[in-house]
Structure 1
Amino acid sequence: MDAQTAGFDPETLAWDKQGGLVPAVVQDADTQRVLMLGYMDRDALETTLASGRVTFFSRSRQRLWTKGETSGHVLELVRLEADCDRDTLLVQARPRGPTCHLGTSSCFMQAPAAALAELENLIETRERERPPGSYTTTLFEAGIARIAQKVGEEGVEIALAAVTADDAALTGEAADLVYHLLVLLRARGLGFADVAKVLASRSR
């Protein structure tokens, strides 16, 4: 949970507009995919802030409901923001398992996500689980020197493609470079977010 969210004041919301409830749009903090829509009352919001796990008010059961209280697929709060009218919440969270009761990552079947973040999540899973037969597994087991070598090779290939090949070949080589770079960062205990912080600092 970030510092701004920790100091969020529930009393600043326009509770009276919708009978003491506000819609809460839940978004994956890493992939940016919209996961679900729920409703919060004051108690649900205060429980969310205090526990760090996203909690809603169930209109059908007329009680508080913490996502994952039976399945274990909780939503860990990262960031909270109200819209300009203070009557809707954007809840950014990290899901621990499927969000939808149907077993999918989102209740919106076609909800898009950031491709880079999804790839990074997959690479993290491969490093942790090391499934046999996975190319990513072979890279991690080969070690940082081999991964760094692959990044160098892909860098040369993309440079050559830029001057000798068509757009399809260039974008294909770019994808290969990005993939191997993410593996290298992960092998060093880093992620693209660390690179993004450097980029942000340079744009000021």
Structure 2
Amino acid sequence: MQSLTPAFLDQLRFNEAGLIPAIAQDWLDGAVLMVAWMNRESLELTLSNGEAHYWSRSRQELWHKGATSGHTQTVRNIRYDCDADVILLTIEQRGDVACHTGARSCFYENRDQRSEGGPQALPPPADACTELMRVIEHRREHPDEGSYTNKLLEGGDNRILKKIGEESAEFVMACKDNNADEIAGEAADILFHMQVALAHHGVSWRQVQEVLAARRGAPRRHDPSA
């Protein structure tokens, strides 16, 4: 987690009760997982401990998220908004459960009637690649007649990998032509077919994100030929 100074906390605008709303956002796909309240003490505990601490308005006490359930939140980054009256926590959610109902996120309702949440609740909106992978995985589990994705999945590696090769060649040619629109389009095609291959082999998009995140900031690779 970033190192924050007391001057950082001094910038924050707490309300008349000494509280400030805090949004918890997944560190990989950007999904909003929950919103809670923090005061200066809970923020200081969060900064010193590295795990999210909030203030419970109902119990009027400090609340170490996940202390009982085990679903703790490791804080990787903290920002405040332009008015300094809202905090954004970028967190790594242990157990992938942030909601007290057992859902991944508290933001799962999109119907006229409230549900009970839980593990089967709708996932929160996320980045475009994560959303695309969800569609592909849904097609895998619930085939749709006439779906191009299902045709690829039914063809297995032979069909999927052939398309990845074709799209890769088209991406290379687009780069050679230096056409930004074509480069973006061909890159999107590669990503789509790559995700179909991942789904076919049971590899989640999140696994790929975790690998990329682990490589960020890693020691530079040494090229023996250099």
Question: Shorter-chain TM-score: what band?
Answer: 0.5 to 0.7
Q: What pairs with 1:111-122 in structure 2 (closer than 5 Å)?
A: 111-117=124-130
Question: How many correspondences in the alignment?
Answer: 158
Aligned to 1:69: 67
Structure 2: how far apart are the matches of 1:74 and 1:188? 23
Q: Does the C-alpha gap of structure 1 residues 55 and 161 become closer, same or farther in structure 2, counting only changes over 3 Å?
A: same
Aligned to 1:10: 9
TM-score, with length taken from structure 1: 0.62
Is the Cα–Cα contact under 8 Å of residues 28 and 209 in structure 2 kept in the other structure? no
3-state SS, counterpart of residue 129 of structure 2: helix
Gaps of 5+ in 2: 109-121, 134-156, 172-186, 218-226
Q: Does the C-alpha gap of structure 1 residues 194 and 58 become closer, same or farther in structure 2, counting only changes over 3 Å?
A: closer
Q: Does the C-alpha gap of structure 1 residues 188 and 65 become closer, same or farther in structure 2, counting only changes over 3 Å?
A: closer
Measured after TM superposition, the shift of residue 157 of structure 1 is: 3.6
Q: Does the C-alpha gap of structure 1 residues 57 and 154 become closer, same or farther in structure 2, counting only changes over 3 Å?
A: same
1:78-110 residue CA offsets vs partner (Å, 9 max, x unmatched): 110011111110111010021111111000005
Is the Cα–Cα contact under 8 Å of residues 56 and 64 in structure 1 kept in the other structure? yes
1:166-185 residue CA offsets vs partner (Å, 9 max, x unmatched): xxxx97774222455896xx
Aligned to 2:164: 155
Aligned to 2:24: 26
Percent of residue pairs identical: 34
Q: Out of 17-26 and 188-197, give the one that drifted further.
A: 188-197
Which of the two has greater helix per residue? 1
Residue type at the aligned position of 2:194: L
Structure 2: how far apart are the matches of 1:88 and 1:176? 39
Q: What pairs with 1:121-200 in structure 2 (closer than 5 Å)?
A: 153-158=162-167, 174-178=191-195, 180=197, 191-193=211-213
Residue type at the aligned position of 2:193: D
